[in-house]
Amino acid sequence: MIFKPYKYYYTELLEALSNNEKLLEDGRISEDERNKYLKVIVEKYRFERISEKYEDEHRKFEVCLFGALLVFFITVIAIIYV
């Protein structure tokens, strides 16, 4: 997933919603299609936020695991040489 700064999520979301409203006003889509598109747009951005949060948590876990393994191996090497 490509990282985007926080403010761009909502800028893109608002652009998608305004485009959806323009299509409805122009008569290109019906009210039911608009509602369907709204659900898809909102779900897309909700999924992106959840997946980004998961990736952040996973990255933190990897850093902690690396640190713990590093301390463990340094301790083992110190015990062997002492």
Residue 68 lies in a domain: yes
Q: Which domain holds residue 14?
A: 6-81
**Considering its fold, how many domains does the chain have in total?**
1
**47 within some domain:** yes
Query: Taking a C-beta distance cutoff of 8 angstroms, is the pair 49, 6 a contact?
Result: no
What pLDDT does residue 1 have?
44
Q: What is the pLDDT of residues 20-64, one digit of tens each?
A: 788 878 888 788 887 888 888 778 777 777 777 788 888 889 999
**Predicted TM-score of the model (pTM):** 0.46
Tokens of 66: 């690396």
Q: pLDDT value at position 2?
A: 52
1: in domain: no
